[in-house]
A and B are shown apart, each in its own frame.
Chain A
Amino acid sequence: MAEKVLMKGNEAIAESAIRAGCRFFFGYPITPQTELAAYMAKRMPKEGGTYLQAESEVAAINMVYGASAAGARVMTSSSSPGVSLKSEGVSYIAGADLPCLIINIERGGPGLGSIQPSQSDYWQATRALGHGDFQMVVYAPSTVQEMADLAYGAFDIADKYRTPVMILGDGMLGQMMEPVELPERRTELPDKPWATTGHGNARPKNVANSLYLVAEELERTNFERYERYEQIKATEQMAELVDCEDADIIVVAFGASSRIARTAVRYAREEGIKVGLSGPSPCGRSLWTRSPQPASMQRPTCQSR
């Protein structure tokens, strides 16, 4: 039986990532993801891993790029304004088909915004950060348990599809404590024959790169990448509907606010109003570009009010 402990969401993500085999963390201080980096700073040296406080968010994500290309399970964490700074690096990581985990413990925007919890980065996350022609897998947990589970599984999805994966949490989920069952430690990690590890005079050279000066070559890589995205949409999306079968109104929500929505839907049902809850979280948990819920779940007959 797995152990159950009381943890903050930020800490649960960190511990779960370590158990998933992540041994490299590069970050920069920002509220409200603070506990995550602090946890990593404490744990990584004892796990034989690396915690490195980078000179900037920009440097941190580029360290992630290097470590990922070198074959490691690697992550970074930040909050909204810091994630904006990481945009460039995430674009290069996607372009070079590298796996990694990016945590966004959202706060309010725009600009310096606030340090209060927010879901303000939905569009940025689901349309993918940075410039042009890529998408990324985005998970939106609504409980500390989901944070732990999704961080653990995110590394597998990232490795399988060679794509950056984001967990889109918020300051409330990151800082609140809930009981959480932590996953078992990974003992085996996937092989990465594409990694730039030094060829050891034993294989052709490997290159991590996103530059294609011949337009047709770039187009081919982008088509190939979008085929992978379609495969992810078809096979990896997680979703569930609550009370939607007979619903006249469906509330769509994710993250911490979906917990409020869930309660509101229950009260409405008690009053006889036919309301359902949809969206990626807590019912579903995965966000994907252009549609907050899978196409198969969409109900064109629903009328918005």
Chain B
Amino acid sequence: MAQKEEKLVYERPHSLAPVVTNYCPGCTHGIVNRLVAEVIDELGIEGDTIGVSPVGCSVMMYNFYNCDFLEAAHGRAPAVATGVKRVHPDKVVFAYQGDGDLASIGMAETVHAATRGEKITIIFINNAIYGMTGGQMAPTSLPNQVTQTSPYGRDVTTAGYPVRVCELLSSLDGVAYLERVCVDSPKNIRNAKKALKKAFQTQIDGIGYSLVEVVSTCPTNWGMTPMDAFEWMRENMLPYYPLGVYRDVVAEGYANAAEAAAARAAACPIAMAENPQLDEIHASLPSKAKVEAAQAAVPGVNAPKEGGDR
């Protein structure tokens, strides 16, 4: 009798640790966490990746992945990621943040990491509510949206308007790639994964800052079933937060964010001026030998790639 050959079609990504998460049933964090892990696996960068988890529902992410991780203070993930990336410019550094973390308490860090063109990748979960603390109004809560702290609906006359993060960041010169996606269907999940992979690749290729915004749900605090939550998201959030690419300097014909920034500043004499002093510094620094020399001073960086037990 012929043995039927076993064919494995689906398994847990290696970079995702075999642990139970703290996410509520039906929450999109689980999907996005997995997509990020799949991307890390497919790019073969687990050993070179350092993650930064935020304060919020994904605060325990450092337990969910097998790569090195830092837990940041509320809103500070881009600053923490900046510190790591400046020490290890050849490593892949990503931060994963919710809307309160990224667009409220951490807005300054968000905007400035982007405008500095930090070569980091931000994954932004926008579900228009503070999940972990029990459903308060977020910077991205929609007008008239009822939350614990907007019990009569978000009153724009007193609470103002939601922040559209991709649109806001698209004006900044350090930004290389911005896309807003969602994960409510197999098709959109595949598209979200494509965007995440592109964001990581943008960093690896040194093109500039990258961010993927995932329009998400919070069934628990929205008080809906997961399927109803997706329906509400499609009806209300997507018109306010349209999906799509908000910046892609490569698609615009530039090699990187710096080239795109120079094109924007073409009429500004000082911005376009020759700067031999900076040229000299740049020439002396980013060479691979120099980076390796600097890292020799940071023990543990040049650990062997293969053969270890972990």
Measured CB to CB, the residues of A under 8 A from B are: 21, 23-24, 26, 45-46, 48-50, 52, 54-56, 58-60, 62-72, 74, 88-89, 92, 96, 189-193, 195-211
Contact = CB atoms under 8 A, between A and B. Distances in A.
B303 A67 contact: no
Interface stretch (B61-69, B141-149, B235-243): B61-69
A208 B69 CA distance: 6
Contact of A209 (B70, B83, B281, B308): B70
Contacts of A211: 59-60, 71
What are the 3 A-B residue pairs with the smallest beta carbon separation, nearest first?
A66-B83, A202-B308, A62-B79
A196 B67 CA distance: 9
A48 B294 contact: yes
Secondary structure call for the A interface? loop
A201 B14 CA distance: 12
Given A55-B108, A58-B79, A199-B310, 20 more contacts: A21-B297, A23-B294, A45-B281, A48-B284, A55-B109, A58-B108, A62-B76, A62-B80, A65-B80, A66-B82, A189-B299, A195-B300, A200-B47, A201-B46, A201-B307, A202-B305, A203-B310, A205-B310, A206-B69, A207-B71
A52 B300 contact: no
A54 B79 contact: yes
B300 A67 contact: no
Nearest to A201: B47
A64 B284 CA distance: 24
A92 B60 CA distance: 15
29 contacts: A24-B83, A24-B86, A55-B111, A58-B108, A62-B72, A63-B86, A65-B79, A66-B85, A69-B84, A70-B84, A70-B87, A72-B87, A74-B83, A92-B72, A190-B299, A191-B300, A195-B298, A196-B70, A197-B68, A198-B67, A199-B310, A200-B304, A200-B305, A201-B46, A205-B66, A205-B69, A205-B310, A207-B68, A208-B69
B112 interface: yes
Nearest to B290: A48
Interface string B4-20: 00000000000000000
Contacts of B62: 207, 209
B301 interface: yes
B306 A63 contact: no
A70 B69 contact: no
Q: How large is the interface on B (under 10, 10 to 19, 20 to 34, 35 or more residues)?
A: 35 or more
B109 A192 contact: no
B251 interface: no
B293 interface: yes
Given A197-B50, A199-B303, A201-B306, A65 B72 contact: yes
B298 A62 contact: no
Contact of A67 (B59, B76, B86, B301): B86
Residue from B69, B73, B83, B297 having most chain A Cβ neighbours under 10 A: B83
Given A59-B76, A198-B47, A206 B68 contact: yes
A55 B80 contact: no
Contacts of A209: 62, 69-71
B91 interface: yes
Nearest to A91: B73
Contacts of B305: 200-202
A286 B290 CA distance: 37
Given A24-B87, A200-B48, A192 B79 contact: no
B221 interface: no
Nearest to B112: A55
Contacts of A203: 303, 308, 310
Interface string B269-310: 000000000000100110000100110011111011111101
Given A207-B62, A209-B70, A211-B59, A89 B76 contact: yes
Interface string B74-104: 0010011111111110011000000000000
Contacts of B109: 55, 58-59, 62
B20 to A, nearest CB: 14
Nearest to A63: B83
